[in-house]
A and B are shown apart, each in its own frame.
Chain A
């Protein structure tokens, strides 16, 4: 995957590394939050780079737009002064640094020495055209030639076919620009192909579970953070 964009990896990695370390080092919590922002943005960039547009966008929206703001709100709500800094001793710094370096070196050693056997990924041009009518192959992975986000969305909705057409799903026929020319987008009669549901509703159930979990968490957080009235004292 030596595409021109892959060169962008290095500046992004540098950004991530620098800002992450800076975040660890800095004493000002708000600055730390800023560095965290840069880190997260860089990670989002990495996601885009890896072709996971949806994940990247989600990263931006949820982390940068939501979580981080939440964190900063926390900072503001719990700040005693404009500039909070809780210093720790140099000794602890030393210990932490050594441990951290040791940890990273162990991980890096393991990564580099570990033999990663990856099946050579087919490029878009030479992508085999999987016939969506063949159940076996359909049950197998959808073609990478499709935009990953569509694959992802259809998977989340529990479809085997990346080209559902019914308004039932809300997903109308995918633009030809997103489908590799090899993939037939419609039946010979030109009519849209009916969608085929996976027997195992792919990731629909986890998706629902996560959403319910989110709701529960929000309620719990609201309950935890609510202002408690003292016991015995009736306001």
Chain B
């Protein structure tokens, strides 16, 4: 793209670079914001469904797909108040730092082959590092609010994130060792066929994927690890005192982080933008469309993971803080260390053919399991809840009347 600008438009290289960066950043901001909006809507729907509700239905006609926009407008116009004994500066800074942390991670996240804002040879490391700065924003928020709920929430959050960073990073290292590079683009490139996905590469990567997912969930302070905003204990954690746009920044940061970690997972384990059963030469002939297809595939995969996160959130009960820490330090950390060691040994000692056979077998099993899961889900859905209200899903007159009243 730089070349395109330089050659066809004849811009000076400096300007061209600057322009490229500018464009990339704008695209990313737009994407992050958009995905956040979409996630909020999705979350509502999923939560509703899981709670036997409908979720938003009205706004924007079908499915309430404008619901989030409406919320955004509401937040924008909301009065933005700052507690009396809050530290103004820190209070203001908090959300921005958090959002920056979450957002800057996207700089190194490749959406398709070569489609990355800044190709870094240490992409994944960079992403982790940047996301680790998000903690500080939260701490500032919790401290600057000058409220004990916020302070507690912030402290808990900080402790949780800092300690979950460690096993997360270790799990990330597992596929990195397999790939031999920290460049996400290169890592994703390696896994073209389905059985080449690193999740199937060997038992350690397989386990590492799930471990990483747990850590990521905790890292994004999602349930069941959302001790920060444990309503029952401390009202809303570090953002108790926040409202309006700042509050929404926090949420954008959270959803952005969710997408970022999912993207990392997809790039490291789930073959990135590769479909998995489309041969490479076809993509090679598709040219730029291949990249577009890749983007679609990648985003879908990431969304799938995010969906799983939501699913988990609304399904599982919340842990206690000590349980959270114990899970990290007593279980996840040793497990991840063992994985690191194991994958190193596997790489060093296991004959290539054995590894290949193993990955194929594991791939087949997983596909079968997935298929079975989907099948059961679909078939289960067709059944009505036993003893349920008849015609619940097809609103009858009385129901309409009730709805109309509200």
Binary contact readout A21-63 vs B (1 if CB under 8 angstroms, 0 otherwise): 0000000101100100100010000000000011001101100
State whether the Cβ of A114 lies closer than 8 Å to any Cβ in chain B: no
In the complex, the chain B residue whose C-beta lies closest to that of A168 is B348
Stretch at the interface among A67-75, A119-127, A201-209, A222-230: A67-75
In the complex, the answer to whether B186 meets A68 with C-beta atoms within 8 Å is no
Known: A34-B93, A82-B85, A149-B182. A72 touches B121 (CB 8 A): no
Which chain B positions have C-beta within 8 A of A5?
A: 17
In the complex, the chain B residue whose C-beta lies closest to that of A169 is B180
In the complex, the answer to whether B348 meets A178 with C-beta atoms within 8 Å is no
CB proximity to A under 8 Å, residues B1-19? 13-15, 17-18
State whether the Cβ of A103 lies closer than 8 Å to any Cβ in chain B: no
Which chain B positions have C-beta within 8 A of A150?
A: 121
Within the complex, the shortest CB–CB distance from A184 to chain B, in Å, comes to 19
Which chain B positions have C-beta within 8 A of A68?
A: 136
Which chain A positions have C-beta within 8 A of B135?
A: 65, 69
In the assembled complex, 15 residue pairs joining A and B whose CB atoms fall closer than 8 Å, in A order, are A4-B17, A30-B140, A31-B89, A54-B125, A57-B126, A61-B125, A65-B135, A65-B165, A69-B139, A73-B155, A73-B158, A76-B151, A167-B348, A172-B179, A174-B181
Within the complex, the shortest CB–CB distance from B248 to chain A, in Å, comes to 22
Which chain B positions have C-beta within 8 A of A4?
A: 13-15, 17-18
Complex Cα–Cα for A57 and B89 (A): 27
In the complex, the answer to whether A175 meets B165 with C-beta atoms within 8 Å is no
In the complex, the answer to whether A173 meets B180 with C-beta atoms within 8 Å is yes
In the complex, the answer to whether A57 meets B177 with C-beta atoms within 8 Å is no
Within the complex, the shortest CB–CB distance from A54 to chain B, in Å, comes to 5
In the complex, the chain A residue whose C-beta lies closest to that of B344 is A170
State whether the Cβ of B276 lies closer than 8 Å to any Cβ in chain A: no
Complex Cα–Cα for A34 and B137 (A): 9
Which chain B positions have C-beta within 8 A of A104?
A: none
In the complex, the chain A residue whose C-beta lies closest to that of B120 is A53
State whether the Cβ of A138 lies closer than 8 Å to any Cβ in chain B: no
Complex Cα–Cα for A65 and B130 (A): 8
**Interface of chain A, main secondary structure:** helix
In the complex, the answer to whether B162 meets A83 with C-beta atoms within 8 Å is no
In the complex, the answer to whether A30 meets B143 with C-beta atoms within 8 Å is yes
In the complex, the answer to whether B180 meets A171 with C-beta atoms within 8 Å is yes
In the complex, the answer to whether A31 meets B133 with C-beta atoms within 8 Å is no
Binary contact readout A76-115 vs B (1 if CB under 8 angstroms, 0 otherwise): 1000001100000000000000000000000000000000
State whether the Cβ of A64 lies closer than 8 Å to any Cβ in chain B: yes
In the complex, the answer to whether A149 meets B122 with C-beta atoms within 8 Å is yes
Which chain A positions have C-beta within 8 A of B14?
A: 3-4, 7
State whether the Cβ of B146 lies closer than 8 Å to any Cβ in chain A: yes
Complex Cα–Cα for A23 and B361 (A): 58
State whether the Cβ of B90 lies closer than 8 Å to any Cβ in chain A: yes
In the complex, the chain A residue whose C-beta lies closest to that of B173 is A170
In the complex, the answer to whether A57 meets B129 with C-beta atoms within 8 Å is yes
State whether the Cβ of A13 lies closer than 8 Å to any Cβ in chain B: no
| Ranked 7 nearest A-B pairs via Cβ | A65-B132, A172-B180, A4-B14, A60-B129, A61-B129, A147-B121, A171-B180
CB proximity to B under 8 Å, residues A142-188? 147, 149-150, 167-175, 177-178
Known: A65-B132, A150-B121. A31 touches B87 (CB 8 A): yes
Which chain B positions have C-beta within 8 A of A72?
A: 136, 139, 143, 158
Known pairs A31-B87, A167-B348, A175-B181; list 9 more (Cβ under 8 Å).
A30-B140, A30-B144, A53-B122, A57-B126, A65-B165, A69-B136, A72-B136, A172-B180, A174-B180
Within the complex, the shortest CB–CB distance from A98 to chain B, in Å, comes to 29
State whether the Cβ of A128 lies closer than 8 Å to any Cβ in chain B: no
In the complex, the chain B residue whose C-beta lies closest to that of A62 is B129
In the complex, the answer to whether A34 meets B120 with C-beta atoms within 8 Å is no
In the complex, the chain B residue whose C-beta lies closest to that of A79 is B143
In the complex, the chain B residue whose C-beta lies closest to that of A59 is B129
Known: A66-B162, A170-B180. A76 touches B155 (CB 8 A): yes
Known: A60-B133, A61-B129, A82-B146. A53 touches B121 (CB 8 A): yes
Complex Cα–Cα for A54 and B123 (A): 10
Binary contact readout B142-181 vs A (1 if CB under 8 angstroms, 0 otherwise): 0110100001000100100010010000000000011111
Within the complex, the shortest CB–CB distance from B403 to chain A, in Å, comes to 49
Which chain B positions have C-beta within 8 A of A41?
A: 133
In the complex, the answer to whether A149 meets B121 with C-beta atoms within 8 Å is yes
Which chain B positions have C-beta within 8 A of A66?
A: 132, 162
CB proximity to A under 8 Å, residues B384-402? none
In the complex, the answer to whether A65 meets B129 with C-beta atoms within 8 Å is yes
State whether the Cβ of B226 lies closer than 8 Å to any Cβ in chain A: no
CB proximity to A under 8 Å, residues B112-133? 119-122, 125-126, 128-130, 132-133
Within the complex, the shortest CB–CB distance from A10 to chain B, in Å, comes to 14
State whether the Cβ of B347 lies closer than 8 Å to any Cβ in chain A: yes
Complex Cα–Cα for A57 and B121 (A): 11
In the complex, the chain A residue whose C-beta lies closest to that of B127 is A57
Within the complex, the shortest CB–CB distance from B349 to chain A, in Å, comes to 9
In the complex, the chain A residue whose C-beta lies closest to that of B346 is A167
In the complex, the answer to whether A37 meets B136 with C-beta atoms within 8 Å is yes
Which chain B positions have C-beta within 8 A of A3?
A: 14
Within the complex, the shortest CB–CB distance from B391 to chain A, in Å, comes to 54
State whether the Cβ of B43 lies closer than 8 Å to any Cβ in chain A: no
In the complex, the answer to whether B87 meets A28 with C-beta atoms within 8 Å is yes
Within the complex, the shortest CB–CB distance from A17 to chain B, in Å, comes to 19
In the complex, the chain A residue whose C-beta lies closest to that of B134 is A65
In the complex, the answer to whether B136 meets A60 with C-beta atoms within 8 Å is no
Complex Cα–Cα for A140 and B80 (A): 61
Of the listed residues B135, B136, B151, B158, the one surrounded by the most CB atoms of chain A closer than 10 A to its CB is B136
